[in-house]
Amino acid sequence: MKMTRELTAILSREGDGYVALCPELDIASQGTTVEEARRNLSEAVELFFETADASEVRSRW
């Protein structure tokens, strides 16, 4: 069974680029454009769920 949840993405300008943060999981990424930062954050969140053990996911969720 696949579970679906909505997560928050906070994007802010920092210098010449953008920082994207998912506060629920305390995961951040960056990019030169808003879209790139969003895509990079999405990839980082996916990688977290693919590689983190269940206790790590529970502790951040």
Cα distances (Å, whole numbers) of residue 16 to 1, 19, 31: 42, 10, 9
More confident residue, 53 or 37: 37
What pLDDT score does 16 carry? 96
- State the Rg of the chain over Cα: 12
Measured distance CA(39)–CA(10) in Å, rounded: 13
Report residue 60's pLDDT band, with 50, 70 and 90 as the boundaries. confident
Residue range 3-37, pLDDT digits in tens: 788 999 999 999 999 999 999 999 999 999 999 99
pLDDT, average across residues 30-52:
96
What pLDDT score does 54 carry? 85
Record the pTM: 0.85
Domain limits of the chain? 10-60
